[in-house]
Amino acid sequence: MPADQLILVTGAAGRTGGVGRSVVAGLRARGLAVRALVHREDERAAALRATGAEVVTGDLTHPADVARAVDGCRRVFFTMSVVPEYLEAAVTMAAVAREYGDLEVCVALSQMTVSTMTVLSTTESHQQRLHWLAEQAFAWSSVPVTQLRATVFLEHPFFTTLAEASIARDGTIRLPFGSARTSPVAAADVAEVATTILADPSGHTGKVYELTGPRSQNMTAIAAEYAQALGRPVTYADVPLREWTEHDLAALGLPDHLTEHVACMARLVAQNRYDRLTHQVEELTGHPATSVRAFVSARRRQAPPEP
């Protein structure tokens, strides 16, 4: 691929996980030309521009904006925040890419839950249903797609905002997961997989990759990894789902669509729907997926010193 051939990265200014931002950084580190699509100009757009990426603003649900962003790009990374407009954006990308693009590959970030869903599934969140439908739309479009189905991120509030607050308060991680197992994955690992495929998509088109952390374990074992990383006792406190939803989750003040999605994720984790383990991160990047202990240790090092 010529060094000046643009790769489009959508969701480049996303907050939670920052997969899009990390993909931009990874591609630029390889000397590849990147066009980063952001929703608005702000400090995050400026930071992307500082990497040497071309930054354009636009709305993924507006076909003209998407066509302008895709123009001249042969590879695309598609991701978007957890919002009700997700399916509209995915269909718009697929339609524009089919009509106006000449893509080698569109690497689309999906969710692991899709792997066990059917057209008649009813137990998943509205966002998970949108992801399932988006995968169907990409398939119908005949655009060359590689789907990355990531499990829950280590950056999710389950393991950051909520866990850090309760650990600081009483040394516990309060979640309604019971004895179920899960294998959270680091956003940096997902971004590295995407970067690897975008840099050389040969052999990846049409594939679905399921991305997890290095082990699937219950919250007692995960709490032990926190304790090792933090050098202090940390235990798991199982909380009834309704109590957790009405108090812990509600306290985050998230939009209704996102609140419903997170609450549903918690319910599905407790039902062992997230007890999944693959080694595709290692197979695609050449190194093992980030462990909970390594993630918490790195996050601790990056935290600002206490006043």
How confident is the model at residue 1, as a pLDDT? 54
pLDDT above 70 (res 129)? yes
How confident is the model at residue 240, as a pLDDT? 98
When divided into structural domains, the chain yields a total of 2
**284 lies in some domain:** no
Q: Sign of the C-alpha dihedral, residues 113, 237, 263, 252? A: negative
Which tokens sit at 16? Answer: 């939670």
d(CA 257, CA 120): 21
Q: Cβ distance 188 to 206 under 8 Å?
A: no
Largest distance between two CA atoms of the chain: 57
Q: 21-61, pLDDT tens digit by residue?
A: 999 999 999 999 999 999 888 888 898 999 999 999 999 99
Q: pTM for the full model?
A: 0.95
How confident is the model at residue 16, as a pLDDT? 52
pLDDT above 60 (res 3)? no
**CATH number of the CATH domain containing 98:** 3.40.50.720
**166 lies in some domain:** yes
Distance of CA 266 to the CA centre of its chain: 17
Res. 184 pLDDT band, cuts 50 70 90: very high
Q: What is the mean pLDDT of residues 110-136?
A: 96
How confident is the model at residue 27, as a pLDDT? 97
Q: Cβ distance 237 to 220 under 8 Å?
A: no
* 81 and 55 inside one domain: yes
How confident is the model at residue 40, as a pLDDT? 84
How confident is the model at residue 42, as a pLDDT? 84
Q: 55-109, pLDDT tens digit by residue?
A: 999 999 999 999 999 999 999 999 999 999 999 999 999 999 999 878 999 999 9
**CATH number of the CATH domain containing 243:** 3.90.25.10
**What domain range includes position 224?**
161-182+214-275+290-301
How confident is the model at residue 301, as a pLDDT? 85
* 201 and 296 inside one domain: no
Res. 307 pLDDT band, cuts 50 70 90: very low
